[in-house]
Structure 1
Amino acid sequence: MKVVKFGGSSLADAIQLRKVKAIIEDDLERNYVVVSAPGKGVKNNHKVTDLLAMCHELSVHDLNFNEVYKIIENVFKNIVDDLVLDIDIDKILDDVKREIAKGASYDFVISRGEFISAQVLANYIGYDFVDAKDLIVFNEGVLDLVKSCENIKNILTKHDRAVVPGFYGLDEFGKVHTFSRGGSDVTGSVIASALDAEMYENFTDVSGFLVADPKIVKDSCPIGTITYKELRELSYMGAKVLHEEAIFPLRDKNIPINIKNTNAPHEKGTLIVSKCDYKNKNIVTGISGKKGFTVINLEKVNMNTEKDFFRKLTTVFESNDISIEHMPSSIDSVSVIVSDSYITPKINKVLEELKIYLNVDNISWERDISLIAVVGRGMINEKGVSSRIFTALANKGVNIKMISQGSSEINIIIGVETEDFEKAIEGIYTEFYKEEKNEG
């Protein structure tokens, strides 16, 4: 049995829903389907969730939201009319509209895209509709995985085939609560985990992950297989195809995730697994990065002999509610890397507190730093990886501001000036994938 999730681009209009139906009918093991709200399509230029959020905003300010809601109505009515479905879509839409007017919560309102989408698809493919509010449980704003799995086993298993709306559930007070945006991925993974599915398939508008951002590296190679650890490292540094919380319910049960393309369903996509017994043919599995960091450099002779130095250092950032991203160090110096958004309004205060608390010999800081993650299970015990990275960046004229290797040995983090970000990624990609590039 497989659990399959379809993203917003797969449910945008009748054209896409026909593709979804064909995919489901192509594999009789696809018993349980999780859906997002409709995204942008041929007849709609806006995501339904964004439109619902705007309706809520207008409503809470006692402003007329009918014009925006009309767009939502047209999205679903066009789908129902084009597919000639026997479903009372007018009543469903009117009920939601009435709840918004009565002052429904933000989470309730933005969850209605998935709620309606699931009912439409269930009607179209002849599956049962099961509401996520009866399955997914939140406690103090956090997913209660144990109770959610209990509900899924007790309720969903009574349906041989069902469609479930993603993105939301109920909190401890019986109120609708949502995951963060993209959370339908998590709903699907929880269901797959609870039912011990053979596979969790996640259909989107791309054929899996690419080694590097195609906006930076044209014709970037696809990633055939990637481990959960590798994916976590790449996702943390900005590679976004799957909601990062979707990994956890499946990892311990060794349930693989297959990222596939609704528009090209027979392409292999990317398989995400707990463990991989074979090495990737390339040393590097993927390259990703994020912009917008500040580096604070501190120097102090015999810093390593002060047992409480690092405790005091981290205390300054903790007391200012600033998360530390990385902290490479040497015997007499340490660099603290933090997000610009956190440090910018507090930079002078933090610098002064560091001087007072640590009594450092020298302190400096630098803005406009970008971090790049080079990730690969093939890097373990492979000699010369750092050297190849250095050479590739030097050939591109990129100055390395910092470099740090994780203890797992599957990732190397490099800091560069933001103006060099794109060419740095291009250089690293070319170094490790030049054979594929030349063959292409």
Structure 2
Amino acid sequence: MKVVKFGGSSVANGEQIEKVVNIIRADAERRVIVVSAPGKRTDEDVKVTDLLLKYAHLILSYAPVDNIIAEIMARYAQIAHRFGVVGELVAIRKTLVDLPQHQYPNSEYLIAAFTAHGEKLNALLITAVLNKSGVAARYVDPREAGILVTDEPRNARILSQSYAQIAQLSTTEILVVPGFFGYTKAGCIATFARGGSDITGSILARGLQADLYENFTDVDAIYTANPHVVVNPVPIAKITYREMRELAYAGFSVFHDEALIPAIEGRIHVNIKNTNHPDLPGTLIVPESEMELTTSVTGIASSNHFIALYLHRYLLNKEFGFTLKILNILYRYGVSYEHMPSGIDDLTIIFDSNQLDNETMELIATAIQAEVVPDTLQWVPDYAIIMVVGEGLSQYIGTLERIIAPLAASNVGLQMINKGASRISIMIGVHESEADLAVQQIYASFFSNVGKKVAI
């Protein structure tokens, strides 16, 4: 039995959903379907989730909402008209209009409930489309499926007791489940992080002990580097769980990094495939024990959503509790750090810039200056992290030289270099303006067929 998830681009309009119907028909093993909210149809388009987020903010600011409801309805109407299920639009509109009438614990839960309805309404509509097309299907709400989550309205995590209830689901007919959200024990909707439909699919695959979790998106495979940075990078036929986790964290957006955790726990194989080219093999994500090493590097990723705080103080390494003071300050302001490379007199703290604003940055710097008294303290906003990832990194000699030499030849300055604790990644800090060049040079060093499209 297979659990299949379709991303936002795969269900963006009626034309794409027709491909989804054909994919489901093509394989009788595809019994559980997880769907996202309709995504962008063009680069200039707006995702339905973002329209619902705007709707929530309009409600919170007591602004008129007729136009935004009409815009959301138009997206579902296009799908409904294509498949002749226009009767579903009455219930969809009523659900949207009624959303502000519900009671929510706070504004965060309101936003979570509004944005979750992109998936919920699309799953209901796709269920009707499947039945209209002669495919017996049933909508299953995450509450019925048993997807219980933590009390974090917009960054929820699955509760372990959910898996026992998920295991009881019958797949005698095709089940259509909305992704992205679950329910707290109090019965409130809470969403996973953005891109969380991947997480829902992985949770269901683990709970049902699926033979395979197929994740359909809009690319033929996962590539060794970002195709927007490297021309025609080599596709990856097979990758391990932890390689994928490292690359997803560092910028590979094809698959949500948190989504791998349930699959890892259940040892479920994951297959990334293209809705537009479903017959291509895509990329298979497997346990480390099933990977045969053929190269030192599997992929190269970069991300610019980092910011660093650099501090210098002589004899830093001799002072007891120095790092503890800093960690207590970060805890006080509710900020987590990503990495903390250090030397005998220097320390760099790397943060995800998405969790910082100017006020928080100033408060943290002021507190560190007062309590730690560094000789130098400065924020480094122009910061990017590059991850070079591969199960073979620890097995092949000379890998680090092959990474650093082309960067030196291209005058790319290294702000930081750190061998990951997992032993399968090397992390490099560079100026944001040099990140793309660095990726291109490292790629050229490890993949001889630069510029060639290679079949999987």
* TM-score normalised to structure 2 length: 0.87
| CA–CA separation in structure 1 for the residues paired with 2:446 and 2:296 | 7
Question: 1:157-176 residue pairs with structure 2 within 5 A?
Answer: 157=170, 159-176=172-189
SS class of match (2:442): helix
Aligned length: 437
For residue 134 of structure 1, the aligned residue among 138, 144, 152 is: 144
1:156-177 deviations in Å (ceiling 9; x for gaps): 2264321111122222222222
Q: Which moved more, 1:305-314 or 1:279-288?
A: 305-314
Identify the residue that residue 428 of structure 1 maps to in structure 2: 442
Q: Is the 8 A contact 1:139 1:171 kept in 2?
A: yes
| CA–CA separation in structure 2 for the residues paired with 1:406 and 1:289 | 15
Matched to 1:330, the amino acid is G
SS class of match (2:236): coil
Matched to 1:178, the amino acid is T
Aligned CA distance change for structure 1 residues 12 and 347 (closer, same or farther; 3 Å): closer
- CA-based RMSD: 2.7
Q: Which moved more, 1:113-122 or 1:364-373?
A: 364-373
Q: Is the 8 A contact 1:250 1:256 kept in 2?
A: yes
| CA–CA separation in structure 2 for the residues paired with 1:319 and 1:233 | 28
SS class of match (1:163): strand
Aligned CA distance change for structure 1 residues 334 and 116 (closer, same or farther; 3 Å): closer
Instruction: Give the superposition deviation at 1:427.
Output: 0.7
Identify the residue that residue 99 of structure 2 maps to in structure 1: 100
Identify the residue that residue 328 of structure 1 maps to in structure 2: 341
For residue 213 of structure 2, the aligned residue among 173, 196, 200 is: 200
Identify the residue that residue 403 of structure 1 maps to in structure 2: 417
Q: Is the 8 A contact 1:317 1:350 kept in 2?
A: yes
SS class of match (1:266): coil
Instruction: Give the superposition deviation at 1:131.
Output: 1.6
Matched to 2:402, the amino acid is R
Q: Is the 8 A contact 2:150 2:159 kept in 1?
A: no
| CA–CA separation in structure 2 for the residues paired with 1:71 and 1:378 | 50
| CA–CA separation in structure 2 for the residues paired with 1:439 and 1:62 | 53
Identify the residue that residue 40 of structure 1 maps to in structure 2: 40
1:48-97 deviations in Å (ceiling 9; x for gaps): 22222222332343333222222222222222221223x62132123213
Q: Which moved more, 1:31-40 or 1:50-59?
A: 50-59
For residue 397 of structure 2, the aligned residue among 383, 390, 402 is: 383
Q: Is the 8 A contact 2:73 2:93 kept in 1?
A: no
| CA–CA separation in structure 2 for the residues paired with 1:79 and 1:164 | 18
Identify the residue that residue 9 of structure 1 maps to in structure 2: 9
Q: Structure 2 unaligned runs (5+)?
A: 104-109
Identify the residue that residue 285 of structure 1 maps to in structure 2: 298
Identify the residue that residue 107 of structure 2 maps to in structure 1: none
Identify the residue that residue 128 of structure 2 maps to in structure 1: 123
Identify the residue that residue 225 of structure 1 maps to in structure 2: 238
Question: 1:345-384 residue pairs with structure 2 within 5 A?
Answer: 345=359, 350=364, 353-354=367-368, 357-358=371-372, 366-384=380-398
Q: Is the 8 A contact 1:226 1:272 kept in 2?
A: yes
Instruction: Give the superposition deviation at 1:46.
Output: 2.6
Identify the residue that residue 251 of structure 1 maps to in structure 2: 264
Q: Is the 8 A contact 1:32 1:164 kept in 2?
A: yes
Q: Is the 8 A contact 1:59 1:103 kept in 2?
A: no
Aligned CA distance change for structure 1 residues 122 and 400 (closer, same or farther; 3 Å): same
1:86-119 deviations in Å (ceiling 9; x for gaps): x621321232133135356332222222222112
Aligned CA distance change for structure 1 residues 159 and 59 (closer, same or farther; 3 Å): farther
Instruction: Give the superposition deviation at 1:38.
Output: 1.2
1:205-229 deviations in Å (ceiling 9; x for gaps): 1123221122211212212211121
Question: 1:310-321 residue pairs with structure 2 within 5 A?
Answer: 310-321=323-334
Aligned CA distance change for structure 1 residues 435 and 56 (closer, same or farther; 3 Å): closer
| CA–CA separation in structure 2 for the residues paired with 1:168 and 1:273 | 26
Q: Structure 1 unaligned runs (5+)?
A: none
Tell me whether 1:91 sits opposite 2:90 in the alignment: yes
Identify the residue that residue 275 of structure 1 maps to in structure 2: 288
Instruction: Give the superposition deviation at 1:281.
Output: 3.1
Aligned CA distance change for structure 1 residues 159 and 169 (closer, same or farther; 3 Å): farther
SS class of match (2:428): strand
Q: Is the 8 A contact 2:220 2:280 kept in 1?
A: yes
1:156-209 deviations in Å (ceiling 9; x for gaps): 226432111112222222222222222111111111111100011110111232
| CA–CA separation in structure 2 for the residues paired with 1:335 and 1:287 | 23
| CA–CA separation in structure 1 for the residues paired with 2:93 and 2:280 | 40
Aligned CA distance change for structure 1 residues 269 and 348 (closer, same or farther; 3 Å): same
Identify the residue that residue 278 of structure 2 maps to in structure 1: 265
Aligned CA distance change for structure 1 residues 113 and 365 (closer, same or farther; 3 Å): closer
Matched to 1:115, the amino acid is K
Matched to 1:434, the amino acid is S
SS class of match (1:92): helix
Identify the residue that residue 106 of structure 2 maps to in structure 1: none
| CA–CA separation in structure 1 for the residues paired with 2:68 and 2:362 | 45
